[in-house]
Structure 1
Amino acid sequence: MVAQLMRSELPVLIEHFHLPTLPIDPDDVAFILCADNGKATHLVSYDNHLLELDDRYQFRICRTVEFLQDPRVSQAR
């Protein structure tokens, strides 16, 4: 079914998410959902719309430098 929808090039609207806050840019929802459902500790991005949401989720949304400086990341290496 997904393959058929992709071939049809019709927009697929998903209206309900389990997220506490939705990003302004609808294209960013997929990244938030992946990080949330994957139980990520970080989502690394330079997208300002995503970075503005850093304090709204269980995971950090940060730039690469902040990710590498996080003590949790340093301990895992």
Structure 2
Amino acid sequence: MCERQAKQGTIIGGLIFLVGGYWLGSQGHGPFGDLVMGLGAVVTLLGVTSPQPTCDQALHRVEILTRIGLEHGWVY
């Protein structure tokens, strides 16, 4: 299984922190809401700028299946 969900989860988690910080700020907890929004912004940016994870295990499986297919004439 790839770690692609980790990158997407980081982005979604950061966006949730942004919304939560905005909500806290609107409830009168300004400095704490700003802190939570700042953390959410940093996490979201880290998630967006991180490289896409590679799926070495899945690529290895594709190589094996392709080799088997070529050996048995299934793949032309």
Shorter-chain TM-score range: under 0.3
Q: Would you tell me which structure has more strand in proportion to its own residues?
A: 1
Decide which structure has the larger Cα Rg and report it.
Answer: 2
Where is the helix percentage greater, Structure 1 or Structure 2? 2
TM-score by length of 1: 0.20
Larger relative CO (CA 8 A, sep 6+): 1 or 2? 2
